[in-house]
Structure 1
Amino acid sequence: MNFTAMEFVCFFPVVLALYRLLPPRWRWVELLAASYFFYGIFNPWTVPLLAGTTLITWLCAKRIEQSKRPAARKAWLLLAGAVCLGCLGLFKYGSFVVGSVSWLFIGTPVSLSLLLPVGISFYTFQTLSYVIDVYRGSFPCEHHLGYYALFISFFPQLVAGPIERPGNLLSQLHRLSLPTGEDLRQGGWRLARGYFKKVVLADQLAPVVDQVYALAQPGGPAIVLATACFALQIYFDFSAYSEIAIGAARLLGVRLMENFDHPYSAASLREFWRRWHISLTGWFTDYLYIPLGGSRCSALRRWRNLLLVFLASGLWHGAAWHFVLWGTFHGVCMVVEDIARRRGLRLPHPLARAATLAVVGVGWVLFRAQDMTQASELLSGLFSAWTPAGMSVALQTVGAAGLAQLVLTLLVYRLLPEQWPEGRSERTAPVLFYTLLLTGIAWLGLAASGQQSAFLYFQF
């Protein structure tokens, strides 16, 4: 069920109403039923996969807690990991692996027709975080299957995050209560911001990007403009989902973690990844980078760790070679930045921000490309057509409306506040006014377009 679909507009108020009417002991049941209904709307056959993964990992975590021998505990951990990563590998990477191997040996790629379950990358990592935390002893085993199932399937963040940890979300699900007035104000504001970002900003930039990427040989100026548009499109699209998820959960009295913190204000790649998709960066840091040795090791091992983490990040985002290249590119750039930082080589802050944006922009070219062929053509095209005629063609391709949308989006990025100040009850009236205003503008835009577009991260 898409957040911008009319089905969700009907579904969510019913969930809120029942949540308020039902006795406290039944709230988790209602949210669990609503979450599975929400997920089943995408494709009913994926529900047994979600339920099966939930049951098996819950049982494995219980056995980890009960087992006294380290070897037995590790065996149950490996079983849970094999189930989670096996399902993810089959449905997300099966066709990619078979196609790559067949192309290598017989010269013709063979494709498996497997439908990717929506959100499998997100709930797989959330499931793994729980099992690993139980194994490490950093979180107690959840003995109530219902609460654990709700933790894995909580509908606001099920299909595109934030990727929650049991210490935050699962703990809150045990003490579900009615939302406070502050919850309602903040939740409504975050919902309105999310819809505004998605419908008015991200979706209006998409045609500009698509038009340039559809050209056979776009010149450098057109590629730069399209990359700027895509950088804002993917930020506002993905952060919009996070905003709506955070807002919807807040209206239920649940606080999800933040997922973005002005990433394009970063003055280094290291800072960028602390601000972009914070829940995923934190997951890779805690469950891959640090276990590999983190930064408290030799330089060669530290660089290896960075490369492995970003290679894994590229694969997490998509089963295609251009995603692998995107992750590897960021990993190599992080290694170069680490070398420069440790040698005391620093740029002035404005230049550091510009350099970071340039590197991230090149990465977005790889990310947005359809395949390696288009990625190489676009990267080589970056250096072409830097003439008055080429710039004129780029402006004509993007169009006045596209440029105006780009400028508007940049202004909004700078001016739109992240959240309304907490604990300011006297600000209820302006919060309500601006919430209704942003929501109204967003839904007018949706009605005018006559269509609903899926969030970009649904494909991951």
Structure 2
Amino acid sequence: MNFTAPAFVLGLPLVIALHWVMPPRWRWVLLLAVSLGFYALGSAQAFPLLMGITLGTYAAALFIAKSKTQTAKRIWLICAAVLCLGCLGVFKYAGLFGAGTSLLLPAGISFYTFQTLGYVIDVYRGRLAPERHLGYYALFVSFFPQLVAGPIERSIALLPQLRDPDSRMDASGWLYILRGFVKKLLLADTAAVFVDAVYAAPSAASGPAALLATVLFAWQIYWDFSGYSDIAVGAAALVGVQLSRNFDHPYRAASLRDFWHRWHISLTRWFTDYVYIPLGGSRCGAVRLAVNTMVIFLLSGLWHGAALHFVVWGGVHGVLLLAERLLDRLGHDRRPASLFAQRAVTFALVCAAWVFFRAGSVSDARMIFSRLFTGWTLPALHTTALTLGVQPAAQLVLGALCLHLLPEDSSDTPTPRGVLAFCLLTLAAATAWFAALHAGTANAFIYFQF
């Protein structure tokens, strides 16, 4: 379900109203019906797969709890892993093994397979008892705000909230939803027009166009993905559920390590807890640390797609992070004089890596890099400015300014600037939404394809 689709925008207020007038003990039924309905409406063909993984991991966790020996528990864990990762592999990576074998990627499969597998691993480790109520467990897997693109929630955090009859609405959810729509409609989709045009024909790009498109893409993917996360957090808050934070101002990071503490936080934590630490983490010497780090980042790249350029993107981050660690261990003061300079260097490195992520192939990425150093003339600068356009540029500036003025949550004291920003954002988001629907140009969120 696309959050910008009319069915969601018009249906969410009705769902919230019904949720709060229903008896607390039956609210989970409404949420489950809505979650499955939203998913079936947007991805009917993938609905049986979602149900199969739900039932399979539900049963595996119960059998783990009932098993008397560690060997039996391990067998059921392996069965769950084969189910989750096997389905993910078949649908996402079938194209790697031959022409004509690519399958339609089920919506959200990269997210709910990790979430369900994490649940089974937690049961295996004894961190929680298995959920015996199939309805609550199905809601945990399919909870509509975060089903398609996360955040990847931990069962320890989410399941108790779904069972809690005394949950309370958090009105700040409306603020999160508004911020999410502005990030998506006013900023990300505006930037996408220029970015898509440049990356569709990298050999024709001038230096200024290639640089601007690369920087804009860094912001586009942040606005797009964090916009989805904001809407998910807001929608969940309005039905009394608190989701985890998936972004924490990643472009304020002063190092790559800091960046990965701020970007796609739920995925980073998942890989850390279920892959990096079991491999030995950073406790087994420098060589093992380097291997473990590269494994994590290469897997992260592969998680994003069955293409070499995604793996290269992950590998670049792994290498840069290891270089950063090495300089720290050698006692080299790699930090520039100011925090601003540290952030600028980190942002530049992240943008360079994003080229591999956005390009259609490694060769296209190399072409973008080669074009960065050509065509730096006044006519090229003028052409780039004309291509971007006055209205999109003004829209980007206005959206960014309003986001800066608007409080991030309702706990912040409202100010006249914040109230004005709220009004402008509401008007701009509504205008952008209606314009996109009228023109048929509404774009799905970027992470829907993963």
TM-score, scaled relative to structure 1: 0.91
Is the counterpart of residue 347 in structure 1 residue 335 in structure 2? yes
Deviations along 1:19-48, one digit per CA (max 9) or x if unpaired, are 122222211111111100010011212111
For 2:419 and 2:386, how far apart are their aligned partners in 1?
Answer: 41
Q: CA deviation at 1:336?
A: 0.7
Q: Which of 344, 347, 364 is the matching residue for 1:374?
A: 364
Structure 1 runs (4+) deviating above 6 angstroms are 428-434
Bigger CA drift: 299-308 or 369-378? 369-378
SS in 2 for 1:439: helix
CA RMSD of aligned residues (A): 2.1
Deviations along 1:174-219, one digit per CA (max 9) or x if unpaired, are 1044534xx12x1111111111111111111111111222333212
Once the two structures are superposed, the pairs formed by residues 403-442 of structure 1 within 5 Å of their partners are: 403-408=393-398, 410-412=400-402, 414-421=404-411, 438-442=425-429
Q: CA deviation at 1:383?
A: 2.2
For 2:175 and 2:409, how far apart are their aligned partners in 1?
Answer: 7
For 1:351 and 1:200, how far apart are their aligned partners in 2?
Answer: 29
SS in 2 for 1:148: helix
Residue 62 of structure 1 corresponds to: 62
Residue 303 of structure 1 corresponds to: 290
Amino acid paired to 1:123:
Y
Residue 185 of structure 2 corresponds to: 199
Q: CA deviation at 1:402?
A: 4.3
Contact 2:32/2:138 (<8 A) preserved = yes
Once the two structures are superposed, the pairs formed by residues 16-415 of structure 1 within 5 Å of their partners are: 16-95=16-95, 97-99=96-98, 110-177=99-166, 179-180=168-169, 183-184=170-171, 186-215=172-201, 216-345=203-332, 346-348=334-336, 349-408=339-398, 410-412=400-402, 414-415=404-405
Contact 1:91/1:115 (<8 A) preserved = yes
For 2:433 and 2:416, how far apart are their aligned partners in 1?
Answer: 26
Contact 1:119/1:158 (<8 A) preserved = yes
Aligned CA distance change for structure 1 residues 29 and 428 (closer, same or farther; 3 Å): farther
For 1:358 and 1:232, how far apart are their aligned partners in 2?
Answer: 12
Contact 2:302/2:310 (<8 A) preserved = yes
Aligned CA distance change for structure 1 residues 414 and 301 (closer, same or farther; 3 Å): farther
Aligned residues: 443
For 1:433 and 1:390, how far apart are their aligned partners in 2?
Answer: 38
Amino acid paired to 2:277:
I
For 2:279 and 2:419, how far apart are their aligned partners in 1?
Answer: 48
SS in 2 for 1:253: coil
Bigger CA drift: 339-348 or 398-407? 398-407
Deviations along 1:36-72, one digit per CA (max 9) or x if unpaired, are 0010011212111101101011111111111121111
SS in 1 for 2:389: helix
Contact 2:229/2:246 (<8 A) preserved = yes
Aligned CA distance change for structure 1 residues 328 and 413 (closer, same or farther; 3 Å): farther
Deviations along 1:80-108, one digit per CA (max 9) or x if unpaired, are 0000000000001111x223xxxxxxxxx
Contact 2:224/2:446 (<8 A) preserved = yes
For 1:83 and 1:71, how far apart are their aligned partners in 2?
Answer: 18
For 1:436 and 1:43, how far apart are their aligned partners in 2?
Answer: 35
Amino acid paired to 1:364:
W
Residue 13 of structure 2 corresponds to: 13
Contact 2:403/2:421 (<8 A) preserved = no
Q: CA deviation at 1:459?
A: 0.4
Which stretches in structure 2 are left out of the alignment for 5+ residues? none
Contact 2:2/2:444 (<8 A) preserved = yes
SS in 2 for 1:159: coil
Deviations along 1:239-267, one digit per CA (max 9) or x if unpaired, are 11101100000000111011111100001
Contact 2:313/2:357 (<8 A) preserved = yes
Amino acid paired to 1:262:
H
For 1:436 and 1:179, how far apart are their aligned partners in 2?
Answer: 26
Contact 2:179/2:403 (<8 A) preserved = no
For 2:404 and 2:287, how far apart are their aligned partners in 1?
Answer: 39
Amino acid paired to 2:344:
A
Deviations along 1:378-421, one digit per CA (max 9) or x if unpaired, are 12222222344443443343333444445445545644432221
Contact 1:229/1:406 (<8 A) preserved = no
For 1:432 and 1:177, how far apart are their aligned partners in 2?
Answer: 32
For 1:327 and 1:414, how far apart are their aligned partners in 2?
Answer: 30
SS in 1 for 2:68: coil
